[in-house]
Structure 1
């Protein structure tokens, strides 16, 4: 009986949280490691009410939603986490995360700090990784380099980033994105270590 329970537990995938301030390079880093088959990753697509940016695909980059549908999902408990920023909602569909984990996939959540704290309260076994910039000056340079948002929004993102940097103690791991490839290698090592720990339980 004990062996059977252990096997069932091992087959359920890990929940991995990847977060950090806006502009720190989460998406860039993820692209360096997400296709490594050893990690057995499934990327959890977030839901948002913001408008798609150029090149973004509904159902791949985000599930683009109306405010009405998003608020309905909140009320029905359909989100693992959610947050509102710059007038838009962002959240993680719970049903999809559970389906992927039950299939044995290690689910990667690339989410905001506010959402990450919610997930850790519900899933204390989550592997939480916070990405920090080399400096706040470098972070501002990266945010401005996007050239996609007005100054008012940039200032809001910078203020938010400053507050988020104070939350690093809430995470199990902190990785500095000075070099995206190196940061990706460190994250791969962290995930593989936790996969190994699960297999040895």
Structure 2
């Protein structure tokens, strides 16, 4: 198995991280998306093995005890998210570099384990006010959920200096070009 590069994308919810990740995956770059595992229930139109690997809480804890994760986090009480080692191996076996859309702590754990192979990018909103407007503009969350995300964003923003690069997403086209340039440069390094 030839090991490729790892690209970690982390950001507060509403920063545009997922839009940038989707843009990268649409480019002619040999990238594969790492599908996270979670202990939460499947929602709406989500598909097992496409959106997440859905595990029961006991299955998730069993995999923790088997050291099957590169990283994992109990994000909310009783709700775990993590990256299975088998997911990285699957993509490397396909000859792809691995792209992660992941929380800040998990992203930094991946960087710690694969320091030479990982480029950790933090996507930052132009301001906290813009972030709040984006979250409210989605129209998909309760007021309580928006407040939870804003409180969490405060903590997540404090991790930005630990990343290899911070991309401020104030102009989407500029941010798209910047992530493509960063990824291609790291692949070629």
Moved more, 82-91 or 133-142: 82-91
Tell me, in whole angstroms, the C-alpha distance in 2 between the residues paired with 1:68 and 1:145: 36
**1:94-173 correspondence runs (5 A):** 94-125=85-116, 126-173=118-165
Moved more, 51-60 or 81-90: 51-60
Native 8 Å contact 2:20 2:179 kept in 1: no
What secondary structure does 2:80 align onto?
strand
* Max Rg structure: 1
Structure 2: which 5+ residue stretches go unaligned?
none
Q: Kindly tell me: are residues 50 and 148 of structure 1, through their superposed partners in 2, closer, same or farther at Cα, counting changes over 3 Å?
A: farther
**1:107 CA displacement:** 0.4
**Among candidates 38, 43, 46, match of residue 33 of structure 2:** 43
TM-score normalised by length of structure 2: 0.91
**1:1-201 correspondence runs (5 A):** 11-37=2-28, 39-87=29-77, 88-125=79-116, 126-197=118-189
**1:150 CA displacement:** 2.8
Tell me, in whole angstroms, the C-alpha distance in 2 between the residues paired with 1:173 and 1:181: 18
* Residues 64-115 of structure 1, C-alpha deviations (whole Å, 9 max, x = no match): 2211111111111111111122332111111120232244311001100011
Structure 1: which 5+ residue stretches go unaligned?
1-7
Runs of 4+ aligned residues of structure 1 deviating over 6 Å after TM superposition are: none
TM-score normalised by length of structure 1: 0.86
Q: Kindly tell me: are residues 54 and 182 of structure 1, through their superposed partners in 2, closer, same or farther at Cα, counting changes over 3 Å?
A: farther
- Count of aligned pairs between the two proteins: 187
